[in-house]
Amino acid sequence: MAPKTIQSSVAFQDPQGNVLANGSINFDLNTPSEVIGGGQVVPTRVTVNLTSAGVIPAATTIWANDQLNPGNTLYIVTIHNANGLVVEGPVFWSITGTSPIDLSQVTPVSNATLSFSLPGINEQTFPTSGTFTIPAGVTKLKVTIVGGGGAGGGGGATAAMGAGGGAGGCGIAYLTGLTPGNTITVTAGVGGTGVSGATGNSGTASSISSGTQTISTITANGGAGGIGNSAGFNGGGAGGSVSGATLTLGGASGPPAISTSIAATNGAPSVFGGGGQASGNGGNAPGSGGAGNNSNPGTGGSGANGVVTFEWIA
């Protein structure tokens, strides 16, 4: 009995689609083995150096798994670029069949090329409303939903200033039992706008709801606007509430107005970062509140728009 010939009819590639010119493949047996009927011990590792075209050289041989004892052996395969860096693996291959064996038939082939994708976290972010399509092979998702931030209050009379706007609520949901190709409707909240010498407008809600994929609606409400032309410790905009999420973080409330004798009031930070910096500046991070204004008169800073982010492993 002789080892079988292996080949590749298409070039190996890295996850970015680059041909693995002069790369290599390591084949490691998952257990010590011998050739059926002959008792010959086979190498536990075989290294195949790819050609400049990224294919297996002609006349390359390896002991196939259906030639070995014990039965049901596997090769643990790692694929490397020309610099020796692993671009795929370890993965398990069972090499069987009639010689020559085309490894393109053992590994998925797409668009007439043999390519590999490293497992990892993928994401798609919606800063504006839209439709999310569930990717191929994905049945579970993590979704982060943040409502729009509230605007800061406008400044007014002497010793009265605008309070900071509240941050949009934040909810995290874990969706399961999904069908690839189905859609989820996405609404991204809008930050509230400031008003001269008056209370700022609230941000609007962000949400996800059923498209062709049936899910329970999850909503992160916008932060409230900071009270304008105010003095005292009760003027900050309330943070947004959340409904339907697996994990509810809510939104931070904006700081109150105090007096024009000190710095104006910043907007509330969202889960992503700081609010608008006084006086009268808009929210910086998604869902954060706008700053109050201490001018007479003055317009509060606008709240930052909300956002919806989907994450999955593929």
Domains in the chain, ordered, with CATH? 4-114 (2.170.14), 119-314 (no CATH)
Element (H, E) at 307: strand 307-313
Question: If we measure between CA atoms, which residue out of 159, 167, 189, 194 comes closest to residue 254?
Answer: 167
Please, which residues have CB within 8 angstroms of residue 152's CB and are 6 or more apart in sequence?
A: 162, 163, 164, 165, 194, 200, 225, 226, 237, 254, 265, 267, 276, 278, 280, 289, 290, 291, 292, 293, 300, 301
Instruction: Extract the runs of DSSP E, i.e. beta strands, from 163-296.
Output: 170-175, 183-187, 206-210, 218-220, 242-243, 247-248
Tokens of 253: 């409330």
Residue 164 in contact with residue 155, Cβ under 8 Å? no
pLDDT tens across the length of the chain (314 residues): 899 999 998 888 887 778 899 999 999 887 788 999 877 888 888 999 999 999 999 999 999 989 998 887 888 888 889 988 888 777 778 888 899 998 876 643 223 233 334 455 678 889 889 999 998 888 999 999 999 999 998 887 666 788 889 999 999 999 999 999 999 999 999 999 999 888 999 999 999 999 999 999 999 999 999 888 876 655 788 999 999 998 888 888 888 776 544 545 888 888 887 788 878 888 888 899 999 888 888 899 999 999 999 988 76
Residue type, 94: S
> What pLDDT shows up at residue 106?
64
Please, which residues have CB within 8 angstroms of residue 114's CB and are 6 or more apart in sequence?
A: 8, 10, 11, 12, 13, 103, 104, 107, 108
Instruction: Extract the runs of DSSP E, i.e. beta strands, from 8-148.
Output: 24-29, 34-35, 45-49, 60-62, 68-69, 75-80, 86-93, 101-102, 109-110, 113-114, 121-126, 130-133, 141-146
Q: Is the pTM of this model over 0.75?
A: no
> What pLDDT shows up at residue 64?
92
**Positive or negative torsion for Cα 278, 280, 285, 288:** positive
Q: Residue 232, Cβ neighbours under 10 Å: how many? A: 12
> What pLDDT shows up at residue 38?
77
> What pLDDT shows up at residue 47?
93
> What pLDDT shows up at residue 110?
29
- Residue in the structure block whose two tokens are 């504006």: 128
